Chain A
């Protein structure tokens, strides 16, 4: 009897979960079905399937978004930012964790404390300084991402270093390696799991960032979110095109999530709980 009850309970929980899941997906459903409709179709009803799917919306949105170019800009800027954040933060995390001096403690504190500063509090002088240095471009943006991304990353690497035994260092030094060889060939590979976490956390944030690129980049070298903003402004009231554009814009993320969902969820959980 009790077993049966429990089973029935689980089934009702399962059904509840699936219903909630459908509610969660509803916004995406509404976006996609309406992206396939004509303007008139949308006007006569948004809930159902299109009478006849229209693909022209996607073609037009693809062209107006300059999608391949925006995608290229997003990939380039995100990729380079992540690469330097991972490289430089892991080096710093290693150096700070292996050095037990007061100076090192102060430096670590400054890096962590900087996380308290919201972006808006440094935004205006940042744009002013970079503007005067003629650095309001993709290169400047990538450097800014290093500055904003390194705090959390150093914190995570610093924590992960406690799991790397000091005898590694000693053995390598005895074998004649210098600090850089030791780091690059021994320590950095051991930090790979945390590098994946750091990479995922920073990709999610940098890929989707809108405000900073909007202050730094021009429309011709816009990333996807920035281009989407211009695009949407152009097509307010033309939902069929706007929705097709939105669908295209989130496609790379959905594809990425499909292939790496486990790592992404684990990475986020690791970063959030630490």
Chain B
């Protein structure tokens, strides 16, 4: 199919319009207006880097970035351990293997908003009840402090996403040649040695894939944040994505929020590019 041919362009027109109008044009449009005093409709003044300078001096924005970074580090580590653990479990020759896959994956199908509401009930009522029964005071008021709110979000995300990461690890685990494991068994390798020397190196690429997914997911999380803690108490559990929505639509500071959104894009893009870079480097080595 040639470039010059009308058919080539006709086949592409709908997606060019879609991506162009929905993503590309708004992206550059927003980039431009982040340097002005834009109010969502008109802009009167070109401010240069003023919005950008201000946002780096704003405590709320910086603390939302810091909170998101901490959240990302913890969830990436936790999700990969859990995902690999669950994958190893359900790829063993057990009867409930398929049932367990279905169960572990289930939370992924239900939206983050609804899951956050369910866990709000658990952290408030169920934890409160268990505290009453067992006398463990620490279970009370889980969503009312910054620290426990953080762990609340981590628990919700781990429960929701571990099944997804599990699926990725399963795909790689099932590609390991059975003969390799059998041969090692015959040679007398213990199950730990088999894991360390065969399984682990062969699922390493799965780690690269799932690290990319978990990192970008952790940075972009919004619904769970909104429905579980709503950023509270005092905006201390507010992540970057939510901070941008608030600045734009609650505080009505469109240009300023857009500047934050540009910084957000740069962070996500740098993470993704770094990932791809290391990915490529490793592929060459192997």
Contact = CB atoms under 8 A, between A and B. Distances in A.
Nearest to A97: B1
Contact of B126 (A30, A121, A179): A30
A96 B209 contact: no
A67 interface: no
Contacts of A116: 265, 268-269, 272-273
Given A154-B15, A210-B223, A269-B170, A120 B113 contact: no
A225 B114 contact: yes
B121 A31 contact: yes
A232 interface: yes
Interface in A249-274: 249-250, 253-254, 256-257, 261, 264-265, 268-269, 272-273
A99 B2 contact: yes
A95 B96 contact: no
Interface stretch (A12-20, A49-57, A191-199): A12-20
A88 B15 contact: yes
B94 A120 contact: no
27 contacts: A14-B96, A20-B86, A27-B119, A30-B122, A92-B15, A96-B12, A99-B3, A107-B12, A107-B16, A116-B272, A120-B222, A121-B264, A122-B22, A122-B27, A123-B248, A143-B22, A144-B22, A146-B22, A147-B21, A150-B15, A150-B18, A179-B11, A207-B111, A210-B113, A232-B117, A250-B110, A269-B168
A151 B125 contact: no
B23 A122 contact: yes
A211 B248 contact: no
A46 interface: yes
Nearest to A257: B109
A209 B14 CA distance: 23
B203 to A, nearest CB: 12
A171 interface: no
B278 interface: no
Interface in B32-70: 33, 40-41
A273 B113 contact: no
Contacts of A253: 109-110
Contact of B89 (A17, A25, A88, A91): A17
B235 interface: no
Nearest to B244: A120
Contacts of B273: 116
A199 B272 CA distance: 25
A1 to B, nearest CB: 15
B113 A225 contact: yes
Contacts of A207: 111
Contacts of B23: 114, 117, 122, 147-148
Given A94-B11, A99-B1, A264-B109, A46 B125 contact: yes
Interface size class of B (residues with CB under 8 A): 35 or more
Nearest to A229: B113
B15 A24 contact: no
Interface stretch (B136-144, B145-153, B255-263): B255-263
B109 A204 contact: yes
B19 interface: yes
Contact of A124 (B20, B171, B261): B261
- Contact residues of A: prevailing secondary structure: helix
B95 interface: yes
Contacts of A101: 2-3
A112 B3 CA distance: 20
Contacts of B209: 272-273
Interface of B: 1-3, 5, 7-8, 11-12, 14-16, 18-27, 29-30, 33, 40-41, 86, 89-90, 92-97, 99-115, 117-119, 121-122, 125-126, 129-130, 159, 163-164, 167-168, 170-172, 209, 213, 219-220, 222-223, 226-227, 240-241, 244-245, 248-249, 254, 257-258, 261-262, 264-265, 268-269, 272-273
Interface size class of A (residues with CB under 8 A): 35 or more
A250 B114 contact: yes
Contacts of B16: 107
A269 B118 contact: no
A156 to B, nearest CB: 13
B92 to A, nearest CB: 5
Interface in A1-35: 10, 13-14, 16-18, 20-21, 24-25, 27-28, 30-31, 34
B167 A18 contact: no
B26 A183 contact: no
B264 A268 contact: no
A90 to B, nearest CB: 9
> For A16, A116, A127, A257, which residue has the most chain B Cβ atoms within 10 angstroms?
A116
A15 to B, nearest CB: 10
B125 A42 contact: yes
Nearest to A115: B272
A129 interface: yes
A69 interface: no
Contacts of B24: 110, 114
Contacts of A239: 121, 125
